[in-house]
Chains A and B, each alone.
Chain A
Amino acid sequence: MSRLLEPLAVGRVIGEVVDNFTPSVKMNITYNGNKQVCNGHELMPAVIVAKPRVEVGGQDMRDAFTLIMTDPDVPGPSDPYLREHLHWIVTDIPGTTDTSFGKEIASYETPKPVIGIHRYVFILYKQKARQAVKPPATRDQFNTRSFAEENGLGSPVAALYFNAQRETAARRR
């Protein structure tokens, strides 16, 4: 499974957003029905406007999972003094299903990267009990670690991230 973690570590997701963990649940995220999210791949802003389909693995439908999507590079990756910005939280996702079966305690906010190349991170936690996650007070200055701690989510079980920059940014210099 370390093969799954290497891109997360190199991309500094492990380190800046979460601590090292052992992935134990599969997670598949797809935008627009065909654009699958792969670690470190870039997605165009137009693609990520609407919320994606997040398929959660696991064994048991009785397990509840929480998905958090944040942007740790606000307002810009070189000086992220507003880290992080919360984009989406879905809780009580039954195992082996997807987010449409969960409860959105923070609705999906379309990412709008302005400065630099942002990382958008999806972290999946396994809940110990259902309806144990409280909505956060604000989306700004969000901290995934502390939020997980406050809500007793423990260590992540899966993580994915993609890059995005503004539509008109210079690519492939």
Chain B
Amino acid sequence: MGSHFNFKNFGNEQMEGSGGGRPPGNFPLARQPSVYSLTFDEFQTTMGGVGKDFGSMNMDELLKNIWSAEEFQTMGPASQDVGASGGHLQRQGSLTLPRTLSQKTVDQVWRDISKEFTVGAKDTTGVGITTIPQRQQTLGEMTLEDFLLRAGVVREDAQLAGKPNITGLLGDLSRTANNQAFGFGYQQPERNTGLVSGRVLESSNQMAMESANLPLNVNGVRFTQQQLGATQTQQTQQLPQQQHQPLFPKLPGLPYATPIAIPNSAQLGSPGVRGGIVGLSDPATSASLVQNGALQGAGVGMVNLGAGAVTIAAGSPAVSSDGLAKSNGDTSSVSPVPYVFNSGLRGRKCSALEKVVERRQRRMIKNRESAARSRARKQAYTMELEAEVAKLKEDNQELQKKQAEIMEMQKNQVMEEMNQQRGGKRRCLRRTQTGPW
């Protein structure tokens, strides 16, 4: 699919952007680079008349600016109504950055990040180590992605249960997304939605997985499986009404949008969810985000992801990054794993999944062989026993026959003896003299 292909490349591009040093990769379509891959300097120039120096800007404002920049970028390609509904969505709530961050200014956050780099150069993962040199730039040179990731807006959790599945699925779905801005972000949402469209149950499971895995700090909203399941069932009916649902309004142009949106909207129905979602989805940017991600509104999980994506993939990247980080210890030097989406995600998910599947298959084969050997042993034992029994029976018969014969012979001999004896006696009983009368 063209959209798939595009997305994949876009994902590549995202990855490269987040990698920092990598040159832009395959770029089948002439797309605008994501806002997140811009450095602060570039972002500032892009924003043009924003004026305010980012350094003293509050984190909240920074994010808002980013989102508006993204919306600006994506307004063109994306459908307008979606953008509008997205905008509507965004205004529904307040941004819910991690509390620790929202109050800080960019400068403060940057100082913290720098401290991180200098103090703890040793990360647990190779990814961390390799990415540190990249980070040690001035704030201006750091890409927005990196900054937000480092700042903790995006938290890399360590929950990988089922992550590979999720990320892989997302990767597939993400292809359908056409929005460059949220390539990585959409990957997850799209994946979910795609799943939903295909198989509601599956997506719900995935979403459940994702929601379970989403770090709490992302938006404070955790969607339980029940929620997902419950909402999903309602999804099909609620789609038409919930076009403006945060995060996944239908994109007219996208085939997946419709079926996907349904699940999403349904899930968003729960107030808590919505609050969380809305909160995360900032106006303009989230709208566009949603649009693209909306392709497959995989429901709560997705929503979270979408919101996360909005807030620079706080949730989903964490999920996917976790998945990525874990599934591939040897990931490339791209530090923000969430950004290494499509190809990276799918590649990793594939190899991890494949390993698991392969291991399972090997175990199954070994078990089968062991069972076959056991059966052969049993059969050999039985055959041997049967052979022994047969032999013993034969021997027994022979012996008994022999015994009978011998008995017979003995009897005959005795008879003969007896006969002879009797005969002798008879002879002996002959009178030898007559009596005197």
Contacts and interface: CB of A to CB of B under 8 A. Distances in A.
Interface of A: 3-4, 6-8, 10-12, 38-41, 77-78, 117, 163
Interface in B380-400: 380-381, 383-384, 387-388, 390
Contact of B373 (A3, A4, A41, A77): A77
Contact of A4 (B366, B377, B380, B387): B387
B202 interface: no
Contact of A40 (B366, B370, B377, B390): B377
Given A38-B388, A78-B366, A7 B380 contact: yes
Given A11-B380, A12-B376, A6 B366 contact: no
A7 B377 contact: no
Contact of A6 (B373, B377, B387): B387
A33 B321 CA distance: 69
A33 B376 CA distance: 29
Contacts of B384: 7, 38-41
B381 A6 contact: no
Interface of B: 366, 369-370, 373, 376-377, 379-381, 383-384, 387-388, 390
Nearest to A8: B380
Q: Which of A6, A7, A38 has the most CB of B within 10 A?
A: A7
B373 A10 contact: no
Contacts of B380: 7-8, 10-11, 39-40
7 contacts: A3-B390, A6-B387, A7-B383, A7-B384, A10-B376, A11-B377, A11-B380
Given A11-B380, A78-B373, A117-B377, 19 more contacts: A3-B387, A6-B383, A7-B383, A7-B384, A10-B383, A11-B376, A12-B376, A38-B384, A38-B388, A39-B383, A39-B384, A39-B387, A40-B380, A40-B384, A41-B381, A77-B370, A77-B373, A78-B369, A163-B377
Contacts of A39: 380, 383-384, 387
B390 to A, nearest CB: 7
A6 B379 CA distance: 10
A10 B379 contact: yes
A39 B379 CA distance: 11
A77 B371 CA distance: 11
B377 to A, nearest CB: 6
Nearest to B369: A78
B154 to A, nearest CB: 46
A8 B379 CA distance: 11
Nearest to A12: B376
Contacts of A3: 387, 390
A39 B384 CA distance: 6
Contacts of B376: 10-12
Contacts of B381: 7, 40-41
A167 B17 CA distance: 63
A3 B393 CA distance: 14
Contacts of B390: 3
